[in-house]
Amino acid sequence: MRLRRLFAVSAAGVAVVLGTTVAASAAANSGSAVAPDSLRALAANIGLRIGTAVIPFDLDHPDYQAIAAGQFSVVTPGNEMKWQVVEPAQGTFDWSGADRLVAFAEQHGQLIRGHTLLWHSQLPDWLTTGVANGTISNAQLRNLLHQHITTEVSRYKGRIWQWDVANEFFTDSNPSTINPNDFWVSHLGAGIIADAFRWAHQADPHALLFYNDYNIAGEDGTNAKSDAVFAWLKQMLAQGVPINGVGDQGHLDTQYGFSGTQMTQDLQRYASLGLKLAITEADVRTFVNNATDQVPTDHLATFAQPYEFGQMLKACLAVRQCISFTVWGFGDADSWVPGFFTGEGYATIYDVNLNPKPAYTELQQDLRLAGSGAPHRVPSGAGR
């Protein structure tokens, strides 16, 4: 999904607001040391990586920087590795945003999830226009994609931990199938997905290569999409396609039902194929008063939102092959949700003023228990 930022004030005003409302939070996370009760430190106790999506704007504000560095051990570029951004004009590249985020992650001992190489959205205009008017043939389109993947993966060879190679190819229907109307599939056939994995592996044999999608762990209340993705992955692995993992985006909405048990079962099923797992874009949205303040209109949502975050994390914790859990932006003011779902928001783990929400505490408590277990009870005197 596209990471968006919604502010009702100017950039200068944002800096003032953030500087005055989250001084304590920034102070707690400043410096090179990671706080022992941070999400990052608690997750490290069990070998899990906890991550967030970041855009360069975040790094212009010390308060965002401090939380991004102090709370998370993985960084996903929200937009800066998408084709539209890195090659806005054919043959003209702009790696500045991606380079900045990679440098930030390396400076703070974080790993990087590359996002994303093959997707129908956020493609450069010169590419889609050329295909539409016939100046780019299907054969040329295939060659351009091969070149794009090879160029980008090679540039960051040895520096990217996980790549979202292919993103959102399956339909939401029941039964679910690879979408025949997808931009890439309609022009190059479904086999282009496997080719993208092969090309990425050739460019960096050591990077973990993921298929990434939403509603593939029962989030929509059915297993139709999960069944289709599982069957396809099984087929691809049998053909020797170098797929290392599955990324479940984990975009939830409190107005719909959600089963953490079903998610756990689906993640375990993918793991049975020998694949690694990652929750890649976790957020939980609900109805709010407006896009600026993002106060839930139903007080029960303030309980449901952290509960569903916790259910997702618990599902990941229950499956040893789940190696990372990434929230899609950590502050509500930074979230893509209000700009995409009218009347909804409150989707992340920090509020619009960067104060940690109950969802943050829920994740923190779950990670603490996962790392050390519940403390033993004091002597009860029973049996005397």
Calpha distance 331→113 (Å, rounded): 19
| Chain position carrying tokens 């945003």 | 97
CB of 346 closer than 8 Å to CB of 295: yes
Cα dihedral 317→337→72→20 (10° resolution): -140
The answer to whether 152 is a known catalytic residue is no
Q: Give the angle subtended at the CA of 75 by the CAs of 114 and 220, to the nearest 5°.
A: 75
Structure token digits, residue 55: 């855009």
Calpha distance 289→298 (Å, rounded): 10
Structure token digits, residue 206: 């050591």
Q: List the catalytic residue out of 80, 168, 308, 362.
A: 168
Q: List the catalytic residue out of 152, 219, 281, 344.
A: 281
The answer to whether 168 is a known catalytic residue is yes
Calpha distance 329→324 (Å, rounded): 15
In single-letter form, the type of residue at position 339 comes to G
Sign of CA dihedral 324, 156, 139, 85: positive
DSSP character for 57?
Answer: H
Active site residues: 168, 281
